Amino acid sequence: MHRLSPDTDRGALDVEDLLQIILSLVVVWLILEVIEGVLGIVGWILGPLQPLVGLTVIALIVLWLLDRI
């Protein structure tokens, strides 16, 4: 990649560098979509159990603070 001096044109970016930037952004976008899908499925499966999971977490924290665990 070339160093740009203040008096150079903004279009001095190489095509290969631009393609690498675009490809990197697409890969990040796809990874975020996969993570969102996985978390959505887990949320859907645990949907009815969310209050129980919350109560369990609270109970574990209280037991840990009371040195019962």
Q: List, in order, residues 6 or more apart from 17 with CB less than 8 Å away.
A: 1
- CA distance between the termini of the chain: 56
Alpha helices per DSSP H over the chain? 15-45, 50-65
Kindly give the confidence (pLDDT) of every residue in the chain, 69 residues in length, as a single tens digit, with 9 standing for 90 and above. Answer: 556 555 566 667 788 888 898 999 999 999 989 998 988 887 788 788 878 888 888 999 988 888 877
Q: List, in order, residues 6 or more apart from 46 with CB less than 8 Å away.
A: 53
- Contact between residue 46 and residue 38 where contact means Cβ atoms under 8 Å apart: no
